[in-house]
């Protein structure tokens, strides 16, 4: 390890150069397109039924009934939120969808755990559905679940491509390996953060201007929190890609390994837990086990999730740096 030679000015330059030109390289452009399509499609799928309902109400009654609009949003958001948070399984959600739409006297699964929450929901669901703009909450939860799969399209080629074509050799006599490694990591994080900001801003702006369901301040505050959650969450996943990219010469192999690592942990944990319950703890090998807490109502949970993200980042970056520093280039 040769961290003494870290040069902040070099890291600053490399990260800006890397993020500035990321879009001109194939991977940056592909990521931008996929992330935008994914983010905006999710938003479209969630918002569209509400828009259609409001349009129908306006047509039939001259204006939308806020109570009915809220109920529609709850109907859409609740299963998404409860499934992504792991509160209910798909099976439970499907069963409930098939039942008549009024509370059953013996249904204990929907019993409120907090006195002043919406009846039928646990506090976390209630926070996301009732206390915060529910449409935005649903969109954020899906993005938090899906974006880790997308981020590898941007982050897989931080190092490996330039090792394969020896392009790094033009840099190696001009700066230290640690500056290249950390500079490119930060550049990738910057680019990812900008893309997240664009997606969240677009969705929030559309929601605020088109549907006018929520007060602008509530929407803006929750949008900032959601953006922070997404931006913070991408950091450990990018560091996983940094480790893989610094370890192999082929960008294609790096992409495949990144995909396998990120999706594989989730799949093995979920499928494995059917056969052996403790297998679900494999989720904690990556931030999968913590990441939803970035939208948790309790500040302590949020802080723990942030620190967990930083800890994962530090771990994977350290491994990646050791590999990059000691290998032939």
Partner 1 sequence: MTNVVSIKELSKRFGRIRALNKVSFDIPSNSIFGLLGPNGAGKTTLFSIIADFLKADAGTVEVLGIDTRYISRLQGRLSILPQDAQFQRNIPILDQLVFFRLLAGRTKKQAREEVLHSLELVGLKSVAKRRVSSLSHGMVKRLGIAQAFLGSPEVILLDEPTAGLDPASARQIRDLVKQLQQHATIVVSSHNLDEVQELCDHVAILDHGNLVLAGSVDEITRADREYNVSLSRPLKESELEKLTSIEGVRSIKKFSTAAASQSKKSTDYLVILNLSADHLDQDAVIAPVLRTLLDMSVTPRKLTEGRSLETQFLEVTGTTPQNR
Residue numbers at the binding site for partner 1 (CB under 8 A)? 5, 9-10, 13-14, 17, 21, 24-25, 165-176, 326, 328-329
Q: Which is nearer to partner 1, 113 or 326 (CB)?
A: 326
How many Cβ atoms are within 10 Å of 23's Cβ, its own excluded? 15
CA distances from 296 to 33, 226, 255 (A): 29, 11, 31
Classify residue 251 by burial, with Cβ atoms within 10 Å: 0-12, 13-18, 19+: buried
In the complex, least distance from residue 172 CB atom to partner 1, rounded to whole angstroms: 6
Q: Which is nearer to partner 1, 191 or 237 (CB)?
A: 191
Q: Which is nearer to partner 1, 132 or 323 (CB)?
A: 323
Q: Which is nearer to partner 1, 18 or 288 (CB)?
A: 18
Tokens representing 229?
């959650």
End-to-end CA distance of the chain: 16
In the complex, least distance from residue 300 CB atom to partner 1, rounded to whole angstroms: 43
Contacts of 316 (CB under 8 A, 6+ apart): 236, 239, 240, 242, 243
**Kind and range of the H or E element at 212?**
none
CA distances from 164 to 167, 246, 252, 303 (A): 8, 11, 11, 40
- With b for 16 or more beta-carbon neighbours within 10 A and e for fewer, the 138-165 pattern comes to bbbbbbbbbbbbbbbbbbbbbbbbbbbe
In the complex, least distance from residue 31 CB atom to partner 1, rounded to whole angstroms: 15
Q: Which is nearer to partner 1, 82 or 160 (CB)?
A: 160
In the complex, least distance from residue 36 CB atom to partner 1, rounded to whole angstroms: 20
In the complex, least distance from residue 250 CB atom to partner 1, rounded to whole angstroms: 15
Q: Which is nearer to partner 1, 24 or 59 (CB)?
A: 24
In the complex, least distance from residue 325 CB atom to partner 1, rounded to whole angstroms: 10
Report DSSP letters for 47-90, one per residue.
Answer: HHHHHHHHHHHHHHHSS--HHHHHHHHHHHHHHHHHHHTTSS-H
């Amino acid at each position: 390890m040769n961290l003494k030679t870290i040069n902040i000015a070099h890291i600053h330059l490399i990260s800006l150069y890397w993020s500035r030109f990321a879009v001109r390289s194939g991977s940056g452009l592909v990521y931008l397109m996929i992330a935008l399509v994914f983010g905006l499609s999710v938003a479209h799928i969630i918002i569209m039924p509400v828009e259609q309902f409001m349009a129908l109400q306006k047509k039939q009654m001259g204006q939308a009934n806020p109570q009915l609009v809220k109920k529609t949003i709850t109907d859409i958001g609740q299963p998404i939120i409860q499934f992504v948070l792991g509160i209910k399984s798909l099976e439970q959600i499907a069963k409930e969808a098939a039942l008549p739409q009024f509370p059953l006297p013996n249904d204990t699964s929907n019993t409120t755990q907090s006195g002043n929450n919406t009846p039928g929901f646990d506090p976390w669901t209630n926070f996301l559905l009732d206390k915060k703009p529910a449409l935005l909450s649903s969109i954020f939860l899906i993005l938090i679940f899906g974006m880790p799969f997308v981020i590898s399209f941007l982050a897989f080629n931080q190092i490996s491509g330039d090792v394969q074509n020896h392009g790094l050799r033009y840099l190696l006599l001009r700066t230290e390996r640690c500056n290249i490694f950390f500079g490119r990591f930060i550049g990738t994080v910057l680019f990812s953060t900008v893309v997240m900001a664009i997606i969240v801003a677009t969705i929030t702006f559309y929601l605020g201007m088109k549907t006018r369901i929520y007060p602008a301040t509530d929407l803006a505050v929750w949008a900032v929190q959601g953006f922070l959650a997404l931006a913070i969450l991408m950091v450990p996943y990018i560091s996983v890609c940094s480790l893989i990219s610094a370890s192999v010469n082929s960008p294609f192999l790096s992409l495949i390994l990144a995909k396998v690592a990120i999706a594989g942990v989730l799949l093995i944990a979920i499928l494995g837990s059917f056969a052996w319950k403790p297998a679900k703890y494999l989720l904690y090998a990556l931030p999968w086990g913590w990441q939803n807490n970035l939208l948790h109502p309790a500040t302590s949970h949020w802080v723990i999730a942030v620190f967990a993200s930083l800890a994962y980042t530090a771990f994977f970056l350290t491994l990646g740096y050791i590999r990059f520093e000691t290998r032939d280039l």
